[in-house]
A and B are shown apart, each in its own frame.
Chain A
Amino acid sequence: MVFNSIAFLIFLPIVLLGFYTLPQKVRWIWLLISGCVFYGWWKWEYLGLLLLSSTIDYFVSNSIAATNNPVVKKRWLWLSIGCNLGILIIFKYLGAFIMSFPNINHHLFTHPNFGALTQFLNAALPVGISFYTFQTMSYTIDVYRGRTAPAKHFGKFLLFVSYFPQLVAGPIERYNALNPQLTKKVNFHYQNFQAGFRFLIWGFFIKMVIADNLAGWVDTIYLNPYRWHPLVGIFGMVCFSLQIYADFHGYTLIAKGVAKFFGVHLMDNFNRPYLAKSVNEFWKRWHISLTTWFKDYLYIPLGGNKTNNIAWVFNILIVFFISGVWHGARYTFIIWGAIHGLFYLIEHRFNKHRGYKPQLKWAGQCLTFALVTLAWVFFRAPNLKIATGVFSTAFGLGDGSDFLTIPWHLGVLVIFFFIVDHGVFKRNIETTMDTWTWEKRWLFYSFIIFCLINFSGATAHPFIYFRF
């Protein structure tokens, strides 16, 4: 089930009604069932995968806690990591890897046994597999490190993994942060609904009005990048930067809003990333739950910056490489990750010698936005040919001259979004809107609802991060 669907708009009130009318002690069962319906709505068969991943981590974590032998603990940990990564490799990467060989698609078509299997593996990427796998892995590693006690109740652990607002695209929550909130007693609070509504309405606006309209333009430009005038090429690159932010941030806000209805606070995933003054800072503001995951469970275990220079460079590159691979089985993602790694290293080298100059704040922001935007081309392009096409068009190396017609009102809305999101709301919608008068709030609500009805994109594009 996706947030921007009629099914979800019916599902949510039913779940809320059930949640607040049922006794406290059975609410977790209701939420667990809701999570299964939410996930199974897409393909119920993959609930088995969710169950498998959860079962492994539940038993492994308890086995880790049950022994004092560090060698045995480590073996259990590697078993969990192996199983989780194995699931990821089989369901996320294997099909795409096989299909990436030239002509293999055609030959497999004619092969009675492998054709259907490969097509199945290629087509059946379970939604949000990277998110919930990383979430369960972080739990097991935390148990291994002694930072959290193992879950004693399998059903409640399953709820932690399948909690529907953040199940398919994060934020990737830690067990210590989410689990206590899921099991605590929650009373109906008007303030929770007010805050949830604010997250929800702004989230839907930036997804359906901004991201979905931008998606239409970006898709058109990337379909045949060679035909466009250089300005359109640059426009397409900037549009995708805004689209992916609006799409993912919109999802996160909706997830936060829905969780708020149930009295649960999810972590922030974004902090005005396009105001970052450096690539280093960008990664502290973008997809924060994944960045901190990589920092805590990959970068620091590799030695972090407490190693020699060569090892540190290696650590940085490996983190960005894996970050690229995490997004999917496409070499363009790896290039995207590698580019960020290189930018990060160059920037570090530059800053070390020149130092940070506050008067260059705007220049830093513009340069960072430009670099991030350039890297996004590889993220968006399905292959190197398209990425090359976008670059050659944007830098005036192509011979295309077509222009794109953009309705002016949609252009204005995109600018409105960026100013309000980065300049007015800053990091916290809740507290910002609390300072507004009721007239200002209702004017804002009216405008957003008006835009949702009148200017939503004509196609509900799936959330980009669902496929990860």
Chain B
Amino acid sequence: MIKKIIIRLLFLLLIVVASILVYNKFIWPIDRYMHADLLDALDKNRDSAAIIYIGESSNFWNAKEEHDKRSISEMIAENLEFPLLTLNKSAYHLGIYKPLFKHINKRKNVKHVVLTINLRTFGPPCVHGEFETSLQKDALFLSNQVPIVKKLKAVFNMYDNQSADDRNKVLWQHWTKDTLNLNGTTLKFVNVKNWCAVDKFMDSNNIEDMPKRVLADHYIKAFGFNLNAKNERVKDLDAIVALAEKQHYQLYLLIMSENIHWADSLAGKDLGNLIRTNRDYLVKRYQSSNHVQIIDNLETVKSAYFGEKDWTTEHYYWQGRKQIADSVSQVIKRNVVINKQQ
């Protein structure tokens, strides 16, 4: 009986080993295309790109009525004479791009990497958002582990796979427990929950303008936080910067414009100042690195050039996209000239 069982178990083991070999050789390229398309794009442009532009929806968003639908990275590519590879996907953030940077390190020709940063991604609603589990699966496929390990980890949900409810609880804690500070002083409403609870946009009959109020609360939830070294995204950015320093390519942290004017009008000046304070924190933290250059566009794009006023996005009309693209092109051009002179 024991012999019978052992023979069967050995045969099963043999089947498993053979299947793993087949996966690594033949099936992984299909999975990579389906679940890690950015890695696929990176591998297919292995040695051609000198500049890599890493962004999210802010790069390619355009309005239906626009004639110029070029993305920011396309505009940059037209401004510069180097081959540019765009890696972008909606909702991707620093935590997802971090594993991708480990693959960038293997590309010898890459000299400049532009990484877009929108300040919302540092906030609790993004860090603990409902899409985070799905994004974490993408991060797993982007990591540089052995393909079959990535696949099996995904199959068995062995990644940060918290339920939306669990994430929501953490988010709730941030909103109720995190004290908001400006220049060392606690804000009047102390935390996001209290700030949202305040009556807003009441008319003379004491009736609330509900859509406006909900939008104001959304802005408060999205931008109502203080950055510090414990922030998950700051840790991700630290790791990315460390990789850039190790591999000696120039990393550009492109701080995207936020509609501060609109935020101020909805929630008051304190919110705009919070956003600025968080920007200052990032600038201060990373400006000293030799391989990092910060392109601060926080207030570059005018409120009128924001494509969506009913949500907190970094989606700009072509004028806004062009302003961002020009600022990046200028900085890279200047660096290239300096490098040539050296």
Binding site for B on A (CB under 8 A): 4-6, 103, 106, 109-110, 116, 119, 123-124, 190, 208, 407, 442, 445-446, 449-450, 452-460
Given A110-B193, A454-B23, A460-B155, CB of A190 within 8 Å of CB of B172: no
CB contacts (< 8 Å) of A110 on chain B: these are 193, 196-197
CB-CB nearest 9 A-B residue pairs: A123-B165, A453-B19, A110-B197, A460-B157, A456-B155, A450-B19, A458-B154, A454-B27, A446-B15
24 A-B pairs with CB atoms under 8 Å apart are: A4-B156, A5-B157, A103-B210, A106-B214, A106-B217, A110-B197, A119-B168, A119-B169, A123-B168, A190-B1, A445-B12, A449-B16, A450-B15, A450-B18, A452-B19, A453-B19, A453-B23, A453-B152, A457-B155, A458-B31, A458-B34, A458-B154, A459-B134, A459-B157
Docked pose: A119 CA to B213 CA in angstroms: 21
A218 to chain B, nearest CB (A): 15
Interface centre among B18, B19, B23, B196 (most CB of A within 10 A): B19
B216 to chain A, nearest CB (A): 12
Docked pose: A208 CA to B152 CA in angstroms: 11
Is B20 in contact with chain A by the CB < 8 A criterion? yes
CB contacts (< 8 Å) of A458 on chain B: these are 31, 34-35, 137, 141, 151, 154-155
B19 adjacent to A454 (CB under 8 Å): yes
A449 adjacent to B12 (CB under 8 Å): yes
CB contacts (< 8 Å) of B155 on chain A: these are 4, 208, 456-458, 460
Is B22 in contact with chain A by the CB < 8 A criterion? yes
Docked pose: A453 CA to B26 CA in angstroms: 12
Docked pose: A445 CA to B13 CA in angstroms: 12
Interface centre among A119, A407, A449, A458 (most CB of B within 10 A): A458
Docked pose: A256 CA to B213 CA in angstroms: 54
CB contacts (< 8 Å) of A457 on chain B: these are 155
CB contacts (< 8 Å) of B35 on chain A: these are 458
Is B30 in contact with chain A by the CB < 8 A criterion? yes
Docked pose: A106 CA to B208 CA in angstroms: 13
CB contacts (< 8 Å) of A450 on chain B: these are 15, 18-19, 22
B157 adjacent to A119 (CB under 8 Å): no
Docked pose: A45 CA to B214 CA in angstroms: 35
Q: Which residue of A lies closest to B148 (CB)?
A: A453
Docked pose: A330 CA to B154 CA in angstroms: 30
B34 adjacent to A407 (CB under 8 Å): yes
Q: Is the interface of A mostly helix, strand, loop or mixed?
A: helix
Is B202 in contact with chain A by the CB < 8 A criterion? no
Task: Map CB proximity to A onto B129-150 as digits: 1 under 8 Å, 0 otherwise.
Answer: 0000010010001000000100
Q: Which residue of A lies closest to B166 (CB)?
A: A123
Is B82 in contact with chain A by the CB < 8 A criterion? no
Docked pose: A456 CA to B134 CA in angstroms: 17
Docked pose: A382 CA to B15 CA in angstroms: 41
A245 to chain B, nearest CB (A): 21
B196 adjacent to A449 (CB under 8 Å): no
Given A445-B12, A450-B19, A454-B23, CB of A459 within 8 Å of CB of B137: yes
Is B11 in contact with chain A by the CB < 8 A criterion? yes
CB contacts (< 8 Å) of B196 on chain A: these are 109-110
CB contacts (< 8 Å) of A449 on chain B: these are 12, 15-16, 19
Q: Which residue of B lies closest to A111 (CB)?
A: B197
CB contacts (< 8 Å) of B193 on chain A: these are 109-110
Is B242 in contact with chain A by the CB < 8 A criterion? no
Task: Map CB proximity to A onto B1-37 as digits: 1 under 8 Å, 0 otherwise.
Answer: 1001100000110011011101100010011001100
Given A109-B196, A110-B193, A123-B168, CB of A407 within 8 Å of CB of B15: no
Docked pose: A407 CA to B165 CA in angstroms: 32
Docked pose: A445 CA to B156 CA in angstroms: 21
CB contacts (< 8 Å) of B172 on chain A: these are 116, 119
Is B41 in contact with chain A by the CB < 8 A criterion? no
Given A407-B30, A458-B31, A460-B155, CB of A453 within 8 Å of CB of B168: no
B163 to chain A, nearest CB (A): 8
Is B158 in contact with chain A by the CB < 8 A criterion? yes
Q: Which residue of A lies closest to B165 (CB)?
A: A123
Docked pose: A4 CA to B15 CA in angstroms: 20
Docked pose: A456 CA to B172 CA in angstroms: 35
Docked pose: A190 CA to B3 CA in angstroms: 13
A102 to chain B, nearest CB (A): 10
User: CB < 8 Å: which of B15, B27, B141, B158 contacts A6?
Assistant: B158
Docked pose: A455 CA to B27 CA in angstroms: 8
| Interface contacts beyond A190-B4, A449-B15: sample of 12 additional A-B pairs, CB < 8 Å, sorted by A | A6-B156, A109-B196, A110-B196, A119-B169, A208-B155, A407-B30, A449-B19, A456-B151, A458-B35, A458-B137, A458-B141, A460-B156
Q: Which residue of B lies closest to A453 (CB)?
A: B19
CB contacts (< 8 Å) of A6 on chain B: these are 156, 158
B165 adjacent to A454 (CB under 8 Å): no
Q: Which residue of B lies closest to A208 (CB)?
A: B155
CB contacts (< 8 Å) of B169 on chain A: these are 119, 123
B154 to chain A, nearest CB (A): 5
Q: Which residue of B lies closest to A216 (CB)?
A: B34
Q: Which residue of A lies closest to B22 (CB)?
A: A454
Task: Map CB proximity to A onto B209-236 as digits: 1 under 8 Å, 0 otherwise.
Answer: 0100010010000000000000000000
Q: Which residue of B lies closest to A456 (CB)?
A: B155
CB contacts (< 8 Å) of A103 on chain B: these are 210
CB contacts (< 8 Å) of B30 on chain A: these are 407
A459 adjacent to B15 (CB under 8 Å): no
Docked pose: A131 CA to B168 CA in angstroms: 27
CB contacts (< 8 Å) of A454 on chain B: these are 19, 22-23, 27
